Amino acid sequence: MTIARITAISAAALIAAQGAFAADPDLVVFDWAGYEDPEFYKTYLDEHSRPPTYSFFGDEEEAFQKLRAGFRADLAHPCSQSVVKWREAGLLKPIDTSRIPEWENVMAEFKAMDGFMEDGKAWIVPLDWGATGLVYRTDEVPAEDAATLQSFISPKYEGRVSLPDNVDDAYALGFLAIGVKDWTKATDADFEAASEFLRKAHANTRAYWQDNSQLSQLIASGEVLLAWAWNETPTTMQAEGHPVAMNRATKEGSSTWVCGYVKLEGGEGSEDKAYDFINAWLEPRTADYIVNAWGYGHSNAKAMGALDPEALKAAGFDDFESFSGSTLWQSPLPFELREKMIAEFERIKAGF
């Protein structure tokens, strides 16, 4: 484990130990578990002395439903496929980019993504990006099995697979496995074929993971040999000395996602603190930390360009076109298709 990662975990543990009263009620952040890591917003902590109040979700559909039901927060952390849906549901406020000094350095490819900029307004500040790909135990899984997504349905790995408890990542796997790299053009037949692949993969699945720590324990123990997972898993496990790798270049490819912070309607916290938090996330030292300690990319192109070229190359972030060229982009989906995915994925996990 890297020193930076150990330091961050220790700081996070200290914050947790201080109890709920340590959290700042003037800024409520609705986030993925793990992103409360204080190294992501160090300048915010330096200025305000205590972290935001965090609430966590397991996937974006859960977050969406909770917000629709009236949950209040100031900022949330959705990904590319959800921004349009959240905006159309009236959940988002536009971002005032004049209050974000690093805005001009945010990668142009992300600013141009569907739904990120609409009506001349920004609706999300892109921040973190990466891959969902085949992660495997290098001492147990031969190279030829790690080279194809079909291994997820091989009888050889019965009970030794872990899939994300996340409809978007799961269907990214299903569509890739049947040869579809643009899910916005998927036909009904494609959807049925992707669902059938996931049904077969379910038969091999030991557990559906919800966060990296849970998945890492399963892989470290040897219970799981193959997983469909994020960059964070191999990065943190390799740092701890485990024989684990990700293959983004399988025969069928991998998936690319980009996430960021949005401002939420109904938030009652401090506007100033919300922008301070976002600006801390966009700083070069956050880019350095997220690449080297978590294995994810950062949206600040200037900051990424200043990092060690070897570190970028090792993580696959030295060439954006190469990273994203053979992937399924998790872009916004037609409403009807995504609703079918949500319903069918629940059926699949229930064994139907």
User: pLDDT tens across 39-62, in order?
Assistant: 999 999 999 999 999 999 988 999
**Cα dist. 158→26, 202, 207, 224 in Å?**
48, 9, 12, 10
CB atoms within 10 A of CB 172: 30
> Strand 244-247 to strand 92-93: parallel, antiparallel, or no bridges (unpaired)?
unpaired
CB atoms within 10 A of CB 143: 9
Q: List, in sequence order, every residue forming a beta bridge with 30; answer none if it has no partner.
A: 55, 76
CB atoms within 10 A of CB 223: 13
26: CB partners within 8 A, 6+ apart = 269, 270, 273
- Domains of the chain, with CATH numbers? 3-129+257-321 (3.40.190.10), 130-255+327-349 (3.40.190.10)
What is the reported pLDDT for 11? 42
Ramachandran angles phi, psi of 108, nearest 5°: -60, -35
Residue type, 143: A
What is the reported pLDDT for 216? 97
SS3 assignment, position 105: helix
C-alpha 315, offset from chain centre:
16
What is the reported pLDDT for 252? 96
The pLDDT profile of the chain, 352 residues, written as one tens digit per residue, is 343 443 344 344 444 434 434 799 999 999 999 999 999 999 999 999 999 999 999 889 999 999 999 999 999 999 998 999 999 999 999 999 999 999 999 999 999 888 899 888 999 999 999 999 999 999 999 999 999 999 999 999 999 999 999 999 999 999 999 999 999 999 999 999 999 999 999 999 999 999 889 999 999 999 999 999 999 999 999 999 999 999 999 999 999 999 999 999 999 999 999 999 999 999 999 999 999 999 999 999 999 999 999 888 888 888 777 777 778 999 888 889 989 999 999 999 999 9
What is the reported pLDDT for 134? 98
What is the reported pLDDT for 333? 86
Q: What angle do CA 206, 211, 213 make, to 5 degrees?
A: 85
What is the reported pLDDT for 16? 42
Q: HSE of 46 in the Cβ direction (CA atoms, 13 Å)? A: 7
Task: Using the CB atoms, write b or e for 297-307: b if 16+ within 10 Å.
Answer: bbbbbebbeeb
Instruction: Give the ranges where the chain is alpha helix by DSSP (H).
Output: 3-17, 42-48, 60-68, 83-88, 108-111, 167-177, 188-204, 212-221, 232-239, 271-281, 284-289, 301-305, 309-315, 320-325, 335-349
Which DSSP string do the residues of 324-346 spell out, in sequence order? HHTEEE-----HHHHHHHHHHHH
